[in-house]
Amino acid sequence: MIIANHINKQYIIENYLLLFTVYFNKNLEILETINNFNVICFFATISGHMISTKNILSKAIHFHTLNKNEILYILKEKNTKMLFYMANKIRKEYVGDEVHLRALIEFSNYCIRNCLYCGLRKDNYRLVRYRLEPWKIIELAQKAKNCNYKTVVLQSGEDPYYTTKKMKDIISAIKSLDIVVTLSIGEKTFNEYEAYRNSGADRYLLRIETTNSILYNKLNPEMNLKNRMKCIEYIKKLGYEVGSGIMVGLPGQTLESIAKDILYLKSIPVDMAGIGPFIYHPNTPISLKTNSHGTNNAFELSLKVMAILRLLMPWINIPATTAMETLNTQGRLIALQSGANVVMPNATETIYRKYYEIYPGKICLKDSTQYCRFCIENKIKSINRYVSNGKGFCKKTK
């Protein structure tokens, strides 16, 4: 246990306020869950005598809130055992042992954007481009349904070929198959988001990537953080389930900036939070040397971010991201045991998979939709979890 002399008054006041709020609101549900030992630990933390991982985690578990410095403390902590154990426990308590599968259909790798980190950026002339016709996308969704998927995620680069009319037709055709539709097609106007929503789209994924505006604007030329945030607001306002998230290990990204990202995701609040490690792509302007955290660290750090999000937003859906498995052969299973409850297996036709090269080393490039479905279910069963039969909507977002 570390004795901290540096805890300031504001910190103590903030935590006392939290406790008083809970008492005055007579939030018995929370109070009942606190056993005496934890209360003692918590008082020790707020009285400013002891700041330790255990005390911070205790606060997170019972109040689902942490301030930036506490998050930073956990992000810096080398011993991750307790964090992952607690995230797994809270996951089980709030969203159970079921794992929701989402079939990922990567329908176009054309992109008008030039994000410095991404293999699909328009200036990557070495990439062979493809785009699927609407009828083909609908056919892939039908195949996903035949494999017992309840949700399809339609993902692409930002490709204007898919006009609002085309997207509306695709969405309504897939909805008529009784499948939940998630879109992941980037920044659009309010009217476009509204049109997709009116055609039946249920969820939208748009990662914020980083909330550090200097970093964001540097890595995403001709884009800006303000507009990204606005898009997320639109999506929320239109009643979509909101999926957002960040990349971890971006060059120039600090732990403090990640702590702020976590607080941003909580402030929305998102229904789904996808956290992926940044993976260096040689055909992008980002040099390998500039990766601030190093590749190995990006995996561990992504897990930590994911686990903290589970403690702060126990009800949300958290995917074990594919990029995690690229960095660690057991990455998705490790993630599922550290707070995650969703997996997004690839349901793109095998021949196109290798061209959707956001980053190198993607998994499942030679496998079929049927095989991935079979493979992931076996993996999930191997850790005593099971594939959900439901549609997997977020149970509650406070």
How many chain residues touch ligand 5AD (CB under 6 A)?
12
Pairing of strands 272-277, 241-248: parallel
* H/E run at residue 148: none
Give the Å distances, CA to CA, from 15 to 5, 11, 24, 85, 333: 17, 6, 14, 24, 35
Using the rule CB under 6 A, is 111 a contact of ligand SF4? Answer: yes
Using the rule CB under 6 A, is 372 a contact of ligand FES? Answer: yes
Using the rule CB under 6 A, is 248 a contact of ligand SF4? Answer: no
Pairing of strands 50-51, 2-3: antiparallel
The CA-based angle 262-266-271, given to 5 degrees, is: 115
Structure tokens at 226: 């303000």
Nearest CB to ligand 5AD, comparing residues 204 and 359? 359
Using the rule CB under 6 A, is 118 a contact of ligand 5AD? Answer: yes
Q: Give 118's contacts (C-beta < 8 A, 6+ positions apart).
A: 111, 281, 284, 358, 359
Nearest in space to 278 (alpha carbons), one of 247, 238, 254, 299? 247
Q: Give 321's contacts (C-beta < 8 A, 6+ positions apart).
A: 274, 275, 276, 277, 302, 332, 335, 344
Let me know: does 140 contact 105? Beta carbons within 8 Å. yes
Query: Smallest gap, in angstroms, from Cβ of residue 342 to ligand 5AD?
Result: 15
* H/E run at residue 99: strand 98-101
Query: Smallest gap, in angstroms, from Cβ of residue 80 to ligand 5AD?
Result: 21
**Residue among 46, 137, 140, 157 that touches ligand SF4 (CB under 6 A):** 157
Nearest CB to ligand SF4, comparing residues 111 and 235? 111
Query: Smallest gap, in angstroms, from Cβ of residue 209 to ligand SF4?
Result: 8
Per the listing, tokens 């660290």 go with: 297
Structure tokens at 193: 């988001």
Nearest in space to 206 (alpha carbons), one of 107, 137, 272, 299? 272
Nearest CB to ligand SF4, comparing residues 73 and 280? 280
Using the rule CB under 6 A, is 249 a contact of ligand FES? Answer: no
Using the rule CB under 6 A, is 387 a contact of ligand FES? Answer: no
Let me know: does 355 contact 337? Beta carbons within 8 Å. no
**Residue among 186, 269, 277, 345 that touches ligand SF4 (CB under 6 A):** 186
Using the rule CB under 6 A, is 168 a contact of ligand SF4? Answer: no
Using the rule CB under 6 A, is 158 a contact of ligand SF4? Answer: yes
Backbone φ/ψ region at 239: left (φ over 0), alpha (ψ -120 to 50), beta: left
For residue 184, what are the β-bridge partners? 155
Q: Which of ligand 5AD, ligand FES, ligand SF4, none lies near 364, with the C-beta cut-off 5 to 8 A by kind?
A: ligand FES
Part in contact with ligand FES (CB under 6 A); list of ranges 121-129, 148-156, 195-203, 371-379: 371-379
Using the rule CB under 6 A, is 367 a contact of ligand FES? Answer: yes
Structure tokens at 81: 């055992």
**Residue among 42, 345, 348, 358 that touches ligand FES (CB under 6 A):** 345
Using the rule CB under 6 A, is 331 a contact of ligand FES? Answer: no
Let me know: does 308 contact 54? Beta carbons within 8 Å. no
**Residue among 101, 180, 376, 394 that touches ligand FES (CB under 6 A):** 376
Q: Which of ligand FES, ligand SF4, ligand 5AD, none lies near 121, with the C-beta cut-off 5 to 8 A by kind?
A: ligand SF4
Using the rule CB under 6 A, is 154 a contact of ligand SF4? Answer: no
**Residue among 75, 118, 298, 301 that touches ligand SF4 (CB under 6 A):** 118
**Residue among 121, 332, 373, 379 that touches ligand SF4 (CB under 6 A):** 121
Residue 75 CA, distance from chain mean position:
17
Q: Which of ligand 5AD, ligand SF4, ligand FES, none lies near 345, with the C-beta cut-off 5 to 8 A by kind?
A: ligand FES
For residue 151, what are the β-bridge partners? 180
Nearest CB to ligand 5AD, comparing residues 61 and 358? 358
Q: Which of ligand FES, ligand 5AD, ligand SF4, none lies near 278, with the C-beta cut-off 5 to 8 A by kind?
A: ligand 5AD
Per the listing, tokens 């293999």 go with: 119
- Is the C-alpha dihedral spanning 83, 60, 95, 317 positive or negative? negative
**Residue among 115, 147, 275, 343 that touches ligand SF4 (CB under 6 A):** 115
The residues of the shown chain that bind ligand SF4, judged by CB under 6 A, are 111, 113, 115, 118, 120-121, 157-158, 186
The residues of the shown chain that bind ligand FES, judged by CB under 6 A, are 345-346, 364, 367, 371-372, 375-376
